[in-house]
Amino acid sequence: MTTIGVEEEYLLLDAVTGLPVPQADKVRVAAGLASLTADQEVQYELLQAQVEVATPVCSTLEEVGGHLLRLRHAVGAAAEAHGCRIATCATPPLRHGRPVAVTHRARYRAMAMQAPQLVAEQMVNGMHVHVGVPSREAGVQVLNRLRPWLPTLTAMSANSPLWDGHDTGFASWRTVIFGRWPVSGMPPAFLDIADHDRRVQQLLDSGLITDTGQLYWQARLSDRYPTIEVRCLDVQLRADDAVMFAGIIRALVEITLADAAAGTHVPDCAPELLQAAMWHAARHGLSDALIDPRGSRRRAGDVLYELQRYTAPALDATGDTRQVASLVHRLLRDGTGADRQRAALADGGLRAVTDLVSSESTTP
């Protein structure tokens, strides 16, 4: 069975004001001392109001869900011990007028020197799904075939409608913020692994990026693990929604691996169409039509049905069909995290939003 791992980023919000607080170092230490976490499972993030967690390598969705709940509980308890709460939203409902401190690591300090305003506004939280691939060459072929589905995944995961206390009009404002870096957005198509490595090396040699961690494409080959890393997702309110995406993305990787092995045609997707489709997904989430992998505008529900149909053989093989289908049905019924944040805002204002994004973090 293909392996899978998930990384999640959380905000730390003051328990009273709901504002981001720079308590990451203390929370990381406290979480690391807990018996619920192992070494390297709670990690640094760019800003001191953020914490990242990483599951171990998993074989089943049950493992993924169990580890995510365990880590959310551990970090949540550590945050409460220091007067704050974790929030599973991809942008903060409220922000300070002054920037939050950058984490004291050389790489992060260099980024702050390179692009101070971008770093000051980089208070965004994503979910990254790693899926094992047999080789880097196979990984490039998977990337080429995954690209048309990334806008759909972005729309499904949208959980960042608010910024500076107001509704941005976007379902995933995080996607817009992250798209401002030099190498970001939709990944390009590559001829093969040699073409990939040559083009990445050009970026490094030119000094436009300082390391491969600054390849902020929505999907990329991992530099640390033998995996494809899908990075287009907002962090999810609930752990089981994160599990849903882990299952869908693993199935997409398995299906596209089989397509590549069979020599099936790589989708011919114009880069400008994919980029516009991603913008549209970030703008509307599931509240409007989506652009399907062939470039046609269709009802969001129809595109999600096509995604389920396309991934069905892989989901059947891992026994995940019923669980993933049930969660997709709930998503269509209840809406995205962005929809739920907006409903909370309408019902109870910003306080209701901060309560939602904090209370849902440890919901199974």
Right CATH number for 4-362 from 3.40.50.720, 3.30.70.1380, 3.30.590.20, 3.40.50.970?
A: 3.30.590.20
Q: What is the mean pLDDT of residues 202-230?
A: 94
Q: What is the mean pLDDT of residues 143-148?
A: 97
**Amino acid (one-letter) located at 67:** H
**Residue 134, φ and ψ in degrees, nearest 5:** -70, -20
Residue 34 has pLDDT above 80, yes or no: no
Radius of gyration of the chain (CA): 19
- Residue reference for tokens 């289908």: 325
- Assess contact for 26 and 82: CB atoms under 8 A: yes
Q: What is the mean pLDDT of residues 349-357?
A: 96
* Higher pLDDT among residues 23 and 35, named by residue: 23
Is residue 362 very low, low, confident or very high in pLDDT (cuts 50, 70, 90)?
Answer: confident
Tokens of 155: 């729309």
Provide the residue ranges of all domains of the chain, joining segments of one domain with +: 4-362
Tokens of 210: 């300082």
Q: What span, in angstroms and rounded, lies between the C-alpha atoms of 181 and 231?
A: 14
CA 116 to chain centre: 23
Question: What percent of the chain has a predicted confidence (pLDDT) above 70?
Answer: 99
DSSP for residue 212: G
Question: Whole-model pTM above 0.85?
Answer: yes
* Higher pLDDT among residues 225 and 54, named by residue: 54
- Assess contact for 219 and 143: CB atoms under 8 A: yes
| pLDDT, tens only, 161-199 | 999 999 999 999 999 999 999 999 999 999 999 999 999
CB neighbours of residue 128 within 10 Å = 22
CB neighbours of residue 64 within 10 Å = 25
| pLDDT, tens only, 252-310 | 999 999 999 999 989 888 999 999 999 999 999 999 999 999 999 999 999 999 999 99
